Chains A and B, each alone.
Chain A
């Protein structure tokens, strides 16, 4: 009788702790995604200023600037699924990279104090964004391991938890930057 009770209690403790650790891991993923979101918003806020200060000096880059602005507005509008957010931000990173290369051709702009400050701020958010993305991926990997590994996978199944998608680095970040292509693009 007592042995039966002890087994029951131990079993219950194991189940509770599995449940709690799964919930904890899911919340970690969400928190990590939240910090990506914060960084994305910071970037959206910077872009209009950047575009404005580039515009003053560059007459021939209207296309690039419009592309950046359009992507920014689309991303900042909200109502996006996480996957869409990720995709738009990858495109935005690409477009901004292209813009920064174009800027090289305008020495006056490069010397502009205001522009330099914006460039620094942008570098900062890019770095922060990359850090949040890596934190997110780490949390997702933890979560996915728990969802797929025995015995937590059984509990995860009951809770309807499924694998989450990793935040892939934008394609062009993996390649070496092809400057010529950026100019043509």
Chain B
């Protein structure tokens, strides 16, 4: 990436002109939202008072309050979707182009469900899948794709009154990468967070279960690495061919840098990386100005962190037979 000063220049000369109409759009949107939500609030308060005066039961009141919040949230989301999209095309895209012109950005698509499945990191069947902010292109010799994604499964239960309840559980939420790996391999190798989380009970068990179906456990010689990760593979030698002592160190460092739970799988000549995170990246903030270089800088940092994966894993070292 270019230096700080030129980023400021870029922000002034390239982004600001695009941001001005966007800022206007944002202000109008905020006005609309304030009016709508204010309207809902007034009506809701009136009805609530009516309910209280008529001493309706507490459950009904509670449902009503939750219901009006949900309606408000739904309307905000609906009204702002157009703004979010123009923000992404007018702000995020130029920033990505600024960092590397080889990259392409598609706000509305992402790593497809089938590719996510093909990584085989998560074996749970998926009931709801959402992805956005796909960025793809080459970083020198290494082709990468990454996007945000959220995969969930559902369970149904009945409460004491016989009402059916649907609960959604997250399988994975965060940034997901697929990058071309710099060595040839045929089998499948998985580097998963270790069940040191056994301590946390149920959650730890869940992780162990993930492991079971991933092939044979590979015991590696780096104790620090072994403490953080559990490695499973269909081929003991190939797993070590992929996970050279240097790469083990790099994966460990990468894990510590992100500070999140990270999953790796090596399948079909590619490395798949899942960085779980609750942060929704590349989104505008509705209630603060877009004419703020700090916000743009945050995008640059997020993006740079993602692109650094190639360097962090040394994927551009092409000294083996794969070019």
Contacts and interface: CB of A to CB of B under 8 A. Distances in A.
Given A120-B319, A127-B320, A32 B219 contact: no
A128 interface: yes
A124 B240 contact: no
Interface string A112-139: 0000000111011001101110110111
Contact of A120 (B239, B240, B244, B320): B320
Contacts of B323: 120
Interface residues of A, number: 19
A35 interface: yes
B160 interface: no
Given A137-B221, A138-B219, A138-B221, A131 B240 contact: yes
Contact of A121 (B236, B240, B244, B321): B321
Interface string A132-150: 1011011101100000000
Contacts, number: 46
B66 interface: no
The residue among A119, A121, A134 with the most chain B CB atoms within 10 A of its own CB is: A134
Given A120-B319, A123-B319, A128 B221 contact: no
Contacts of B320: 120, 123-124, 127
A120 B321 contact: yes
B236 A130 contact: no
Nearest to B219: A138
Contacts of B236: 32, 135, 138-139
Interface residues on B, range: 10 to 19
Contacts of A35: 237
Interface in B208-250: 218-221, 236-241, 244
Contacts of B238: 131
A128 B241 contact: yes
B183 interface: yes
B241 A127 contact: yes
Contacts of B241: 127-128, 131
B237 A127 contact: no
Contacts of A139: 236
B183 A127 contact: yes
A134 B233 CA distance: 15
Given A35-B237, A120-B319, A123-B320, A134 B183 contact: no
The residue among B218, B219, B220, B320 with the most chain A CB atoms within 10 A of its own CB is: B320
A132 B221 contact: no
Nearest to A38: B237
A58 B321 CA distance: 24
A128 B186 CA distance: 13
B244 A135 contact: no
B213 to A, nearest CB: 21
Contacts of A142: 219
Contacts of B240: 130-132, 134-135
A127 B219 contact: no
A62 B244 CA distance: 33
Interface string A20-50: 0000000000001001000000000000000
Given A123-B320, A127-B183, A134-B221, A32 B244 contact: no
A106 B219 CA distance: 42
Interface in A161-179: none
B219 A124 contact: no
A142 B217 CA distance: 13
Contacts of B218: 138
Contacts of B183: 124, 127
The residue among A119, A121, A138, A141 with the most chain B CB atoms within 10 A of its own CB is: A138
Contacts of B319: 119-120, 123
B140 to A, nearest CB: 17
18 contacts: A120-B320, A123-B319, A123-B320, A124-B183, A124-B321, A127-B183, A127-B241, A128-B237, A131-B238, A131-B239, A131-B240, A134-B220, A135-B237, A135-B239, A138-B218, A139-B236, A141-B219, A142-B219
Interface of B: 183, 218-221, 236-241, 244, 319-321, 323
